[in-house]
């Protein structure tokens, strides 16, 4: 080695005195920087990390407590529903019996009302039939009387000749004159 290569080796920063350990100055400055960074992390980062972990733990614990409470509520609701199902069957039977009773009452009331309406309608129909029968009888008698008067008048005219008619008129006048 010549002198230039020794000077160049001493000045070359990529060259060190040992293959495993850095230079002493680098160890001192690196250690101080590491201690400053680790102490800053311990002072500022550790409380923040600890707080974040405690917050996460509290959040998870709250979720566990909420889920346990929800489970208890769901189980109590399930018990109430099962209990209510038994009550529902009894309530349904009671309501059906009540509905049957009401239906029977409505049916009986409807039958009574219909029977009364039918009796009323029959009475009105009988009265109308009787009135119609009487009216038709009267009309028939009047028509028969009118027709017989017309027939009698026609028969008398047809059977009476002029002479017989004159005799009837004279005899009527004589009776009227004698009665005065």
pLDDT in tens, 147-179: 888 888 777 777 777 787 788 788 888 887 776
For residue 54, the model assigns a pLDDT of 94
Question: Within a domain: residue 119?
Answer: yes
Backbone angles phi and psi of 113, in degrees to 5: -65, -40
Question: Within a domain: residue 10?
Answer: no
Question: Within a domain: residue 92?
Answer: yes
For residue 174, the model assigns a pLDDT of 85
Question: Within a domain: residue 134?
Answer: yes
Q: Which structural domain, as residue segments, surrounds residue 76?
A: 21-170
- Residues 8/2, Cβ–Cβ less than 8 Å: no
pLDDT per residue over 69-124, tens digit each? 999 999 999 888 877 776 777 788 889 999 999 999 999 999 999 999 999 999 99
**DSSP at 85:** H
Element (H, E) at 151: helix 46-159
**DSSP at 180:** -
Question: Within a domain: residue 179?
Answer: no
How many domains is the chain built from?
1
Question: Within a domain: residue 176?
Answer: no
Backbone angles phi and psi of 99, in degrees to 5: -65, -40
For residue 2, the model assigns a pLDDT of 55
Question: Within a domain: residue 4?
Answer: no
Question: Within a domain: residue 16?
Answer: no
pLDDT per residue over 8-52, tens digit each? 455 566 666 667 777 888 889 999 999 999 999 999 989 999 999
């Amino acid at each position: 080695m010549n002198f230039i290569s020794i000077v160049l080796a001493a000045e070359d920063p990529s060259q060190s005195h040992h293959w495993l350990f850095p230079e002493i100055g680098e160890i001192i400055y690196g250690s101080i920087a590491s201690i400053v960074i680790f102490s800053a992390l311990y002072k500022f980062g550790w409380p923040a990390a600890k707080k974040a972990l405690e917050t996460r733990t509290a959040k998870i614990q709250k979720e566990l407590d909420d889920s346990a409470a929800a489970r208890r509520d769901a189980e109590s609701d399930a018990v109430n529903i099962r209990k209510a199902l038994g009550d529902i069957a009894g309530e349904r039977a009671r309501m059906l019996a009540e509905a049957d009773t009401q239906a029977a009452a409505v049916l009986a009331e409807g039958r009574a009302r219909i029977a009364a309406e039918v009796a009323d309608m029959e009475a009105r129909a009988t009265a109308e039939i009787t009135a119609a029968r009487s009216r038709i009888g009267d009309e028939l008698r009047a028509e028969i009387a009118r027709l017989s008067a017309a027939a009698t008048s026609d028969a008398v005219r047809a059977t009476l000749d002029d002479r017989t008619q004159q005799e009837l008129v004279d005899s009527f006048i004589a009776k009227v004159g004698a009665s005065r």
